[in-house]
Chains A and B, each alone.
Chain A
């Protein structure tokens, strides 16, 4: 087991190195002079020269790459052109918002997705099954940002039930503690006996959670269904049934445990993908997370920020995949043997 984890960790190094290299050269080799792009047409030669020097663009490419790597190793992503702040700080400020949304979206998607998938498998070829699978096909065919806008239109504009965007009622005097607003809401509720922050944080989360969670929900439901159907046909389930064990118990006690194995992998993969899907959802809901931040940085041609943000998310994505992989081998001993 430990050997397997160690091996995976070792394999991580070349992958991370490759990801960083790819991002660096993609941005470095981009046509056009970044300094010119950043400063616009009206900049004079002196300003350009100064920025180039600041960014290290006056040095040969290979030296720039070496410098970039050595800074990354020290976890230094450089400074943002637009704000002048450390990119590292900007990211760590916004990352909790993204993670919070992703976690809730994943909880939403996994619970409902697994319930729908299991029900569909149990009632195979019934109208419930057809509706659920038809629904999930529609779910994966939908543009996320459009779903977000339609949700805002229905629940915020027409019904006036939920806020259109942001994370917290702006009229509240709210000082984040952990930057996970639900958690902060609970802390403040306990500490000050005031539940308004928790309620507001929750209200702001509902629509983005649904929008971001719909695709994973559909995928999880489909995976759960097919995996459940496969497990339900196996001999040990037939044995359990013929032994007179109640169907409910057979499904939930014996079948579900094995049927969930592939679902866990999917959940992990989807969680990683959510982080990148967040760029659309966050833009729609003005959610102040890292996705929206990258979007703004792209618009402002803030290359160091784009570079840093992309590397950060990709590294996170790789790490999540690693955790999922290890987790999977912990629950499924068959993998370890290979």
Chain B
């Protein structure tokens, strides 16, 4: 990385962003949190001291720092720390998969709609307006209720219900971009529609989308936790953070750690993405640039 920096005189947009990002304390904090969670997710089997679903009935509700359980055990005698570590795996994948779904569909719909315009654009935008007329959480709940409760369906539902936001965002930037000279030049040089849409225009429309996707991962983690809490997402004994909170409801009178810890894990992970997203917005969003 450093080697490359020395060789290239003019910084690429990526390098410029990275340079600005390094100066932004909040964004860097966010990035560090995210990296830690990602590492936790990848190396979960190595990091977790116990099997996350193994039940030790005699050691139910062991408080933290006792009997070798750093964060205690839950109501079925499962190690909290291991469950939280494995939970990172689930939450990170939910974030990435559902944002991936919204992003891919949103990009395609947004670009196509803005690029071709006309009646197609009108129809697409009408449908998007209607989808945006729904409160977002409700839309997710309906989709899961229809598909049936499961983690995968929750990801799909969260992904689909966010498509309109991405599509709209992309459409607005493509509309602003598509009349530029470089696009016309490419067209004059014989570039086809596909090439113009996805190779020429799209890369210049990504900054707002990058910000939205970063914040979107945090939001997706929150939503999936909410769905699991309602019994519509992950199913037992999956160590999903929202589900862990849901099953702890009855123990708030005598086992505070079962309730508190998964919530803190969610909070930290989401905070990481929000910090990074806010920082990226300051850097990438032209409106915020002074």
Contact = CB atoms under 8 A, between A and B. Distances in A.
Interface string A284-308: 0000000000110011000000100
Contact of B133 (A27, A279, A318): A318
Given A141-B267, A313-B135, A314-B138, A306 B225 contact: no
A150 B133 contact: no
A299 B144 CA distance: 12
Given A143-B267, A153-B252, A306 B137 contact: no
A227 B134 CA distance: 27
A177 to B, nearest CB: 30
A314 B134 contact: yes
A30 interface: yes
B230 interface: yes
B129, B130, B262: residue with the most chain A Cβ atoms closer than 10 Å:
B130
Interface in B264-282: 266-267, 270-271, 274-275, 278
Interface string B133-145: 1111110011101
B158 interface: no
B130 A310 contact: no
Contacts of B136: 273, 276
A128 interface: no
B252 A149 contact: yes
Nearest to B255: A153
A26 B245 contact: no
A18 interface: yes
B15 interface: no
B129 A277 contact: no
B249 interface: yes
B126 A276 contact: no
A146 to B, nearest CB: 4
B130 A18 contact: yes
A25 B138 CA distance: 16
A149 to B, nearest CB: 5
Interface in B43-79: none
B135 A137 contact: no
B226 interface: yes
Interface in B203-245: 218, 222, 225-226, 229-232, 242, 245
A277 B223 CA distance: 11
B260 interface: yes
Contact of B137 (A23, A146, A277): A277
Interface pairs A-B: 4 shortest CB-CB: A276-B135, A146-B263, A18-B130, A141-B270
Interface of A: 14-15, 18-19, 22-23, 26-27, 30-31, 137-138, 140-147, 149-150, 152-153, 157, 272-273, 275-277, 279-280, 283, 294-295, 298-299, 306, 310, 313-314, 317-318, 321
Interface of B: 126-127, 129-131, 133-138, 141-143, 145-148, 218, 222, 225-226, 229-232, 242, 245-246, 248-249, 252-253, 256, 259-260, 262-263, 266-267, 270-271, 274-275, 278
Given A143-B266, A144-B226, A280-B137, 7 more contacts: A141-B270, A146-B266, A150-B260, A157-B252, A273-B135, A275-B135, A299-B231
